[in-house]
């Protein structure tokens, strides 16, 4: 329930992601590209009803304590207000990526913006595109090394994104008919976990519990937290592509079927509350 494509910083096109999911025998995938829903229709067409596609998004947000990511399931890609907000966030991503290239140039690497742009074939430019251009230029061996040495959150060429506040992000997802779920909170850090009850008051509906970067203890702690605050349990691989140093494989995180059932129910529940036709 957490997959990226070339619409943002994934390596495979939405159709290729769908083909791979079908080959692996998955029941459903949620396409959750960063700050764009542009890949959803291609995924739906490629799946043609044989694999469930949950339209989704991943939006980054920031509190004074750092970086937080929110997933929005069943978001309406036609929602005009949401698209306006996303466009502003994506525009800011371009200047930010160029600033990282400039910083890498200052550090002696002759990286060109055009090469980064060439890797960013979709709408949303991100750090993995900068990392792939660094690999291509021979400055690092793989994407992971680019993050470890240069553009990770504490790296010397890291430049922050334009980030929305958590409450604003949750509201934008809700207003576009989506189900807001906090992405990989334990991976994001202790502060992210401790704020979950507060986010639930803003309208957060779930927590990404099953995640490659979460330990068994963290999974158990998050499950207990979900039960206490009546939040949905979700999970996903955060798949970005099959290449070296690009994170976890598609389907590598088992998400129990009842998580998907509860997500379906929540979607129906929200639709009824809005007075929309029930899915």
Residues that bind Zn ion (CB under 5 A): 9
Q: Residue 34, interface with ligand AMP (CB under 6 A)?
A: yes
Nearest distance in Å: CB 9, Zn ion: 4
Nearest distance in Å: CB 34, ligand AMP: 5
Nearest to 55 by CA among 73, 38, 70: 73
Smaller CB distance to ligand AMP: residue 119 or 200? 119
The partner in contact with residue 183, picked from ligand AMP, Fe ion, Zn ion, none with C-beta cut-offs of 5 to 8 angstroms by kind, is: Fe ion
Q: What is the DSSP letter of 34?
A: B
In whole angstroms, give the CA distance from residue 195 to residue 192: 5
Interface with ligand AMP (CB under 6 A), residue from 144, 223, 243, 248:
144
In whole angstroms, give the CA distance from residue 229 to residue 209: 14
Smaller CB distance to Zn ion: residue 9 or 35? 9
92 touches 111 (CB < 8 A): no
Smaller CB distance to Fe ion: residue 37 or 139? 37
Using N-to-C axis directions, what is the helix angle for 127-136 and 80-106, rounded to 10°?
A: 40
Tokens of 19: 């083909």
Nearest distance in Å: CB 279, ligand AMP: 28
Q: Residue 195, interface with ligand AMP (CB under 6 A)?
A: no
Nearest to 184 by CA among 234, 242, 251: 234
Site for ligand AMP in 92-121 (CB under 6 A): none
Nearest distance in Å: CB 111, Fe ion: 24
Smaller CB distance to ligand AMP: residue 9 or 42? 9
φ/ψ of residue 12, rounded to 5? -95, 150
Gap between the terminal Cα atoms of the chain:
19
Over the window 119 to 138, marking each residue x when it contacts ligand AMP by CB under 6 A and - when it does not, the resulting string is -------xxx----------
In the block, tokens 């809005």 appear at: 274
- Helix, strand, or coil here: 225? helix
The partner in contact with residue 147, picked from Fe ion, ligand AMP, Zn ion, none with C-beta cut-offs of 5 to 8 angstroms by kind, is: ligand AMP
In whole angstroms, give the CA distance from residue 140 to residue 87: 31
Q: Which residues bind ligand AMP (CB under 6 A)?
A: 9, 34, 60, 126-128, 144, 147, 152, 161, 240
């Amino acid at each position: 329930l957490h997959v990226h494509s070339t619409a943002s910083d994934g390596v495979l096109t939405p159709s290729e992601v769908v083909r791979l999911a079908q080959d692996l025998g998955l029941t459903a995938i949620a396409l959750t590209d960063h700050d764009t829903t542009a890949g959803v229709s291609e995924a739906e067409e490629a799946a043609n009803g044989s694999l469930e596609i949950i339209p989704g998004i991943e939006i980054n947000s920031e509190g004074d304590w750092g970086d937080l990511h929110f997933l929005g399931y069943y978001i309406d890609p036609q929602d005009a207000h949401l698209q306006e907000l996303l466009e502003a966030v994506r525009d800011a991503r371009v200047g930010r990526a160029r600033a990282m290239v400039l910083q890498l140039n200052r550090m002696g690497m002759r990286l060109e913006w055009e090469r980064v742009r060439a890797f960013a074939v979709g709408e949303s430019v991100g750090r993995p595109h900068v990392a792939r251009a660094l690999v291509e230029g021979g400055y690092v061996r793989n994407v992971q090394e680019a993050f470890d040495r240069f553009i990770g959150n504490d790296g010397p060429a890291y430049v922050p994104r334009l980030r929305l506040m958590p409450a604003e992000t949750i509201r934008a997802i809700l207003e576009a008919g989506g189900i807001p779920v906090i992405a990989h909170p334990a991976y994001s850090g202790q502060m992210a976990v401790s704020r979950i009850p507060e986010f639930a008051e803003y309208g957060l509906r779930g927590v990404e519990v099953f995640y490659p970067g979460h330990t068994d203890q963290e999974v158990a702690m998050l499950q207990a937290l979900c039960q206490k605050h009546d939040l949905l349990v979700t999970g996903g691989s955060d798949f970005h592509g099959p290449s070296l140093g690009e994170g976890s494989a598609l389907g590598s995180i088992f998400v129990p079927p009842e998580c998907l059932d509860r997500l379906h129910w929540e979607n129906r529940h929200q639709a009824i509350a809005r007075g929309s036709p029930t899915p």
